[in-house]
Structure 1
Amino acid sequence: MPDGSILVKTFYPDGTPAMERLKDSSENIFSQTYNTLDSNGRILRKQSGTDNDWYWTDHSYDLNGNLLQTTSRLGITEKWTYDALNRAISHTDGLGNIDTKTYDLQDNTLIAKDALNAGTNPYSYRNGKTLTQEVNSDYGTKAYNYNEADLLTQSLYGIRKCENTSIDALTRIGKIACTHASTTTGATEAHDFIYTYDSSRFGRLDTVTANTVYGATTNYTYDNYDRIIKKSQNNKAISTWSGTKPTLDVSYTYTTGDKLSSLTLPSGRKLTYSYSGTKPNQLTDLKLDNVALLRSIAYNTAGQMTGWNWGTGNASYTWTYDASKNGSLKKISNKNNSAVENYSIDYSYDRDGRITKLTRNNGLVDNFTYSNADRLLTETRLNGSTNVYGINYTYDKNGNRLSLAATGTHQQPNANVTYTYTGNKLTKVNTTNVSHTANFELIYGGFTPAYDYAGNRRWSGKQNGASTGYEYYMAYNHKNERTVRGYSNTNSNWKDNAVQFVYDENSHLIGEYNASGTPIVEYIWLGDQPIAAIYGSGTTAKTYWIVTDAQNTPRRLIDSTDGNTTVWAFDSTAFGIGIPSVQTVKFNLRFPGQYYDELTKQHYNLNRYYNPELGRYMEPDRIGLEGGLNPYIYANGNPLSNVDPSGLEYLASGWYNVSNPSIFSKDQTWKGIQNQFEGGTGVYYADLQKFGFEQFIDIDQQIQSSILNSNGYMNKVISSIGDNQFFNFDWSKKAFGSDYIHSFIKGKAWPFGRIAGDVSGTIIKNKDGTYLASGVINFRSDTYSWKPDYGRFLEDTGIRVFGAVLGSEPSSYYKKNNNGEMPIEYPRNFWFITPGKWK
């Protein structure tokens, strides 16, 4: 691959994956997974890592080939049963707890019940598979209405009504308005946004306008390749409160290879990214206002990032992988300018891949045990040989915490707690009853929450009707990103303590600003990892390095001035309870996607609020049971192995931290997999794994000089259609030639072989003279190579698109492969999208 690593994939004759291995040119293995099959060709065992006695799962099947049981290395079993149509109707977890499903004739889920018999009964549908209603015992009834094309036009949830209107021919929603279901009161709790498309070019979202006095309006500016180069956010709440600067901007620039080259923060600070000349996918340096922030970013021989130097000195942050455990993180180490370790964590795992021990350089050692449902049962902390604390957890059949028992300096509000539930809804903590809103959001603690009609927490206020006290007021943009938090003490001016928040295109928080637009703190990210925080502005600004753990949870802030002084230290419990042991600087980032609100002691988590004291969310999951059978649980009860940066659905975090983080925006990452074609010359490299995603390739000249434009056909059509009109093209090849689309293989003493591809698509003409062409290339058969026994090897392979090569690989990749089928494959279908200016 372009970074020098080698990814080997092998398959059984029926196409079942046999092995995937990441290695370097010296045959050093960095990660590996492989499958063994039973006599019927079904996967018998999945094995991860090079240690054959670690992290495998055995599988067994019924006579119809349905998976009946899995057994892990530690003997934990999960089981499934099926109906006569081979649909899973029950699942039994490792503790014997059973959840069930039933279906209708269209294979839609009708009833979904967890092991507590809570859940949805029933789901209702129309027109086959269009959901119209769900009745859930935990979060109530949700109803959905559609137009004649089965596009959602209205959702009803208790007193909340959301309407999607002005839906265009491309099914894009023009307005989303969430209001009270039956009255016109509560305008300040309305969620109302207008979406404006195609103003700058067809297909673009140009503006999202807040149609309320507290929302956030967002404007987007693009370059000629439809990449966002500027986002402008106007916080109407700040204007309502008479703030002087409600508009904040962030800007981006890109390399010709579609990589991020600079990011300008709302303060005007500028980040610049540098890449390797020989391995262009590898970031080498990151500067802040032309001064090194990260320097000498290092990679192992398999192309995995392994660390960097901080600033201009010798301070460093590094990590190592364990190939025997499939590349799991082994150690994180931060060192000062004298190469002395000022923070480190060593990770230990059980044979099912779960973290069992954290060993820190400060003498703290945490040990963990788990249930057979992978939920955390115990955590203990030692300082040397001295016990610091111990915590035991118990759970019900669906992962709700039933009890907590803590000893020592445990950081919990209470040492012994019992919890009572109705289904999955918490109803009592010890002897204290807790309540919920009409839409089943939990009311617990010192502040009473209130929500807008889209389900965003808008207010955290004085409890039990008190006339004095602290309160928060929050506002959000169209992506549910919290853009303003006002803070008042006994009805003081909201503006005085207001904080404006700005995010990047991946919903990472990149800055906090007061009502005058002055930066409070700005955050620098590398992929999903926060790496630096800049406090203040002007000559008094200070930069601190953020040292994170394997999950990207910040654990230390290091003063960049000396590269050694810790100004903030946070060694929390597994569920995030704890007061920073050092707090010279206030710092509010917590678990991935979370921001600590010091008044409520809860964490804003993009779509919900997390309560570390309870180890669960305060709101049911917005996406219902799609996020799991327990709508309130955090990280499935295992916050060491799982994260939930969006507040919607947990993710396994084994590779979450540092496996070559992407610095592209979420909507642009896959458009930039390879370099832009330049007139159809030269060889370009692409990641073969990612051909299944939409590609962004510039083929203006290729199209215009190809058979597609024979006798000026394409020129004539472009000239004949009007602005914002389009035409379709469909071309099938009957011969090979340099102007045609085809895949090819080439080797020493081999004949030149090609497989023809057909192309079809649509060209849209924009008002400004540019166009957008999109379509699909379909190859007529699979592309593969077979290496003969007499030692000849594959020299070149790729896909040629109108004279330019896509995905050619150097011959050294193949020299070391054994005789037999080569590990090259291209999908039969390849999507492309190409904006540009017709010449």
Structure 2
Amino acid sequence: MPVTVTEPGRVTSYTYDSVGNALSQTVTDTATGGVARTTSWTYHPSGLVATETAPNGAVTSYQYDSAGNLTNATNALGQVDTYTHDGAGRVLTHSAPNGLVVTYTYDARGRMLTANQGGLLTTLTYRPSGQVATASLPHGHVVSYTYDNAQRLTGWSDNRGNAGTYVLDAMGNRTREDLRNAQGQLVWRLARTINSLNRVESTTAGSQAATTYGYDANGDLISTTNGLGQLTQYGLDALRRVQGITNAEGASASLTHNALDSVTQASDFKGVATTYQRDALGNARAEASPDAGTQSAQYDALGLPSSITDALGRATTIVRDSLGRPTSITHAGGAGGTGGTGVASQTTTLRYDLPGSAYNQSGQPNASKGSLSEIVDASGHGRIVRKTQQLKNGHTSTVGYSYASSGQLASITYPDGKVLQHQYDSTGQLTGMLWNNQPLVSGITWNPLGQPTGWTWNLQGSQGSSSLSVARSYNTAGQLTTTDFSSYQYDAAGRISSLTQKLWRPASTSASATTVSQATSTWTVQYSPAGRITSFNRTTAANAAVDTASFEYDANGNRTASTRNVAGTSTSRTYTADPGHNRLLGFEQTRTAGSNTASTSVAYSYDAAGNQQGDGLHGYQYDSQGRLERVTLGTGAGASSVQYAHNALGLRVFKTDVLAGASTTNTNTTSKAGQPRITLLGDEDDEQDQEQNSTNTPSAQGPGSLLQDAKNFWLRLWSPQTDSTQAQGRAFVYAEDGSLLGEYPMEANPATAPTKGAQHIWLPTANGPMPIAVVGEGRQYAVHADHLNTPRRLTQEDGKVAWQWAYSAFGEEAPTTAATRFTSATTNPTTGSTAVPLVQYNLRYPGQYFDEESGLHYNHFRSYDSKSGRYTQADPIGLHGGFNRFGYVGANPLKWPDPLGLAVKCETIAKIPLIGDIQNCTEDGTTPTEQDALDAKRMTDRELDRACKANGYEDAHAFKRDLGLDSKSDIFSDKNGNLYSGPRKGSGTPQYLHMNDRGIVPKP
């Protein structure tokens, strides 16, 4: 048995007892100061582990019965998990510290028949040959499985009428998978070809062209080619680690590793390098980037961050309990606010479950900072039943949840007392929603992929009532093709190549008329080989181009130029970017209308951490956590402003009204006499007359972002620091998935606030929550959403369209409303009115909320600028979000969302209970799931066994079978616990299947 393992920069030593049990493992960092971390074990006389002591001194103890079955596991906080067993050693009951009891039953062959989790019953039946025949879930969904003569899974069917079939080759690989609905229609198809080495050679989704994969002589992935023949190549070093990526445009990015396989340098496609100093555990002690500055971190005995210093020199200190969970996070303040104001220090206190009867103490704050707190009450199943949010000004909002006996969400009680009820059929499928006991959405239908195919809105209120039915169609690749207001066509690489949208407009050119009419607009889209949008052109039915937009980029996806031609006006921008980083320094703009031409210059400014401080129109100030806390409108001491506050989940919970400065200042500067107005690209209404240059750019020095893992970003809480400003503003309340539930003005009581605010209603879908209705100003509106769950139209109670958001390449187009006759700066006439009430609706791309005061889209952890198609801050998670820290979804918002403002979210095409998720991720190697896949390591047999059992699989074979993997595949895991499939042998990681989006439990 090994006693000492010596590696460059790291020594691992072991001690054993007389029978060979490991007594201790000590990892010593010989490169950065000799820090040692020791894990130790003690044993019962039987040889079973009695205690495990973590490097921080936390002790977990285990007790067993006379047969060696685990009966108790007590963690370092005294929380106890208790188990009972039958005579064969099978678990009969598991009692969690919070009182939840799970019971199991078995047949005579030892196979599990039932699992009852506190009343939620799952039942399995078996074939005589031993395979699972049926699985019944607590909510009534039953899946039956079919097998061939070789006892291989060949298909399934359920009690909803859906069915899936698998075609297998001689090695058991799935060469085709089909899903059909209750009418027998093909809904989804995935075909694979397998090469002579039993590796996936190509995949074809639906009727798209095939994506092919190339391998080297070791069987490691070295290339992918999409359906358009665009090639991405991967260079591997002698240890089979990815050291280079060359995209379809010929640009290359590189990774450098140390002897312990940790990345020490990453150079993007532009050649901008980020360097890392690593310790023996692979932790980044320092990160240096031209985009986000230099940041450093210290780690505790568990290898978790204990102190993080940002590029502005401010330290964040993290105190943790014995389980490693943060209990206190202090962000140091200091100078750096706009106009010389200071940035306040902030401390968040976090409270978790307690042992014994106090495990889930009701009414106690789970997170607090000063007088701002959140109280979360959970059921024994861990489901949230009540959440109370209290702001510093005393404004309190409470959201309640109830659940059906099947465990499904039954209702949501909003802060004003209104109740949204969910209705399900006997198979557990959502079929309708009631708002305050009245039908709101009914007749919801779904395809086997979990995608909604139709429903009916039942709207009623002061504007009248109406019943609106809609249908949605998808192709066999799972892509949306038609809705009630739009249609989509896709190219061979699965990207939207053209789309149509039914839009309302003035019916005549008379400025005094009030009539409107509907017409269909068609857009065609072109992309660079790297998948970035390069043109977005709108045509009329006569095929004459009436609105064109084009975009150019550098090698790393930074926009270098854009041109917009619409309504006889041409607007061109040329952006300036320093070759040594990815920050945009500003732009030069020329606008030509007829014979008039005007030019302007705008300079951007940043702090050391990569936070934009000024854009020529606004100044931005950030708090000590790097969150946008203030926007100033204009410049000078008299500039007005808006302030913001964020909670522990990084969600913005408060926003003030516009606050006047020391003196009144008109922030809409008119142009020089004799010159036409200068309009920012795409939206004259949003950013009006301006004459800007580098001399009137705000010079505030805001604080920077933090170098910390995703866990820490979900543990922050902030409260407004000022006094009377809190009396004028709006509170925001969110669901547990981060969806906005309501926005409530401060001057209103929560019980009556919805008459002045808005409450949002969401339909849960396989690809995330979709806005389906909103109740605001005492009225009900149907929300019509597109393929990304982006709202595009609002219909009021009498069936009239009240609001619409036309497509544009990056969301830069401003919505139009029926109240203003759907007019804009590019329509004829440009102004108008009707009798339809005005509605202001601020949801945009998934996770975004439009801020009129800044023109930015609040996007949870950052703000998105639709005019430049990028974020105003460097990515808080660094290069884990892609090689461009400022980029938004690879410059293709038609295909990808980023709900958190951190990284591209893989599109989940389907969530099939007991079968698995079907996901679609990008292929350019720059998005988080792709980059993590490149860094992923093959799981050891022990790690895979733990992962399988923790996720309810009997063994790795069952795991691979349910996820559609061939038997020769290995399982890889990245640092976040995400799973990927890859060929057996070597450490290369082909990215043809990203297997989950939540991570395994526990992480290996």
TM-score band w.r.t. shorter chain: 0.7 to 0.9
Q: Distance in 2 between matches of 1:151 and 1:264?
A: 38
User: Which residue of 450, 473, 496 corresponds with 1:355?
Assistant: 496
Distance 1:478 1:13, change over 3 A: farther
Residues 1:114 and 2:268 aligned together: yes
Per-residue deviation, 1:328: 1.1
User: Which residue of 843, 849, 872 corresponds with 1:618?
Assistant: 872
Q: Which residue of 2 aligns with 1:104?
A: 258
* CA deviations over 1:730-777 (Å, ceiling 9, x no partner): xxxxxxxxxxxxxxxxxxxxxxxxxxxxx999xxxxxxxxxxxx9787
User: Which residue of 842, 848, 856 corresponds with 1:594?
Assistant: 848
* Aligned counterparts, 1:205-604, within 5 A: 207-212=365-370, 216-236=372-392, 239=393, 246-277=395-426, 279-280=427-428, 282-300=429-447, 304-311=451-458, 313-323=466-476, 326-333=477-484, 344-361=485-502, 362-385=519-542, 386-409=544-567, 414-422=571-579, 423-430=581-588, 431-442=601-612, 443-464=614-635, 466-491=636-661, 494-495=725-726, 497-515=728-746, 516=748, 517=750, 518-519=753-754, 520-527=757-764, 528-536=769-777, 541-560=778-797, 562=798, 564-582=799-817, 584-604=838-858
Per-residue deviation, 1:84: 0.7
Residues 1:607 and 2:778 aligned together: no
Q: Is the 8 A contact 1:420 1:429 kept in 2?
A: no
Q: Is the 8 A contact 1:160 1:181 kept in 2?
A: no
Q: Which residue of 2 aligns with 1:144?
A: 297
* CA deviations over 1:499-551 (Å, ceiling 9, x no partner): 11110001111111111432311111112111111113xxxx11111111111
Q: Distance in 2 between matches of 1:211 and 1:571?
A: 41
Q: Distance in 2 between matches of 1:388 and 1:780?
A: 60
Per-residue deviation, 1:498: 0.5
* CA deviations over 1:45-85 (Å, ceiling 9, x no partner): 11111x2xx23111221111122222222111111111111
Distance 1:499 1:182, change over 3 A: closer
* Aligned counterparts, 1:659-678, within 5 A: none
Per-residue deviation, 1:172: 1.3
Q: Which residue of 2 aligns with 1:731?
A: none
Question: 3-state SS of the aligned residue for 2:261?
Answer: coil
Amino acid at match of 2:734: Y
* CA deviations over 1:765-803 (Å, ceiling 9, x no partner): xxxxxxxxx9787847956999xxxxxxxxxxxxxxxxx
The alignment's TM-score, normalised by the length of structure 2, stands at 0.61
The alignment's TM-score, normalised by the length of structure 1, stands at 0.72
Per-residue deviation, 1:204: 8.7
* Aligned counterparts, 1:675-694, within 5 A: 687-689=914-916
Per-residue deviation, 1:168: 1.6
* CA deviations over 1:18-52 (Å, ceiling 9, x no partner): 33322246653211112211111121111111x2x
Q: Which residue of 2 aligns with 1:704?
A: none
Q: Distance in 2 between matches of 1:162 and 1:410?
A: 53
Q: Is the 8 A contact 1:424 1:632 kept in 2?
A: yes
Q: Distance in 1 between matches of 2:809 and 2:960?
A: 50
Question: 3-state SS of the aligned residue for 2:472?
Answer: strand
* CA deviations over 1:226-277 (Å, ceiling 9, x no partner): 21100000111xx1xxxxx511000000112211000001111100111002
Q: Is the 8 A contact 2:898 2:904 kept in 1?
A: yes
Q: Which residue of 1 aligns with 2:241?
A: 87
Per-residue deviation, 1:581: 2.4
Distance 1:198 1:68, change over 3 A: closer
Per-residue deviation, 1:155: 0.9
Amino acid at match of 2:804: A
RMSD: 3.1
Distance 1:622 1:183, change over 3 A: closer
Q: Distance in 2 between matches of 1:62 and 1:448?
A: 52
Q: Is the 8 A contact 2:953 2:959 kept in 1?
A: no
Q: Distance in 1 between matches of 2:168 and 2:405?
A: 36
Q: Is the 8 A contact 1:421 1:428 kept in 2?
A: no
Q: Is the 8 A contact 1:405 1:416 kept in 2?
A: yes
Q: Is the 8 A contact 2:335 2:341 kept in 1?
A: no
Q: Which residue of 1 aligns with 2:831?
A: none
Q: Is the 8 A contact 2:360 2:378 kept in 1?
A: no
Q: Which residue of 1 aligns with 2:905?
A: 651
Q: Is the 8 A contact 2:782 2:795 kept in 1?
A: yes
Q: Distance in 2 between matches of 1:488 and 1:418?
A: 30
Question: 3-state SS of the aligned residue for 2:879?
Answer: helix
Q: Is the 8 A contact 1:159 1:181 kept in 2?
A: no
* CA deviations over 1:695-742 (Å, ceiling 9, x no partner): xxxxxxxxxxxxxxxxxxxxxxxxxxxxxxxxxxxxxxxxxxxxxxxx
Q: Percent identity?
A: 26
Q: Which moved more, 1:264-273 or 1:492-501?
A: 492-501
Amino acid at match of 1:533: V
Question: 3-state SS of the aligned residue for 1:7?
Answer: strand
* Aligned counterparts, 1:130-141, within 5 A: 130-141=283-294
User: Which residue of 879, 888, 896 corresponds with 1:642?
Assistant: 896
Q: Distance in 2 between matches of 1:780 and 1:30?
A: 30
Distance 1:27 1:98, change over 3 A: same
Per-residue deviation, 1:401: 0.6
Q: Distance in 2 between matches of 1:34 and 1:159?
A: 52
Per-residue deviation, 1:125: 1.2
Q: Distance in 1 between matches of 2:630 and 2:383?
A: 35
Q: Is the 8 A contact 1:119 1:138 kept in 2?
A: no
Per-residue deviation, 1:102: 0.9
* CA deviations over 1:330-366 (Å, ceiling 9, x no partner): 1011xxxxxxxxxx11111111111011112322111
Q: Is the 8 A contact 2:602 2:615 kept in 1?
A: no
Per-residue deviation, 1:418: 3.4
Q: Which runs of 5+ in 1 are unaligned?
A: 240-244, 334-343, 661-672, 674-685, 692-758, 762-773, 787-829, 833-839
Q: Which moved more, 1:179-188 or 1:263-272?
A: 179-188
Q: Distance in 2 between matches of 1:186 and 1:469?
A: 14
Amino acid at match of 2:811: G
* Aligned counterparts, 1:71-86, within 5 A: 71-86=225-240
Q: Which residue of 2 aligns with 1:680?
A: none
Q: How many aligned positions are there?
A: 648
Per-residue deviation, 1:496: 5.1
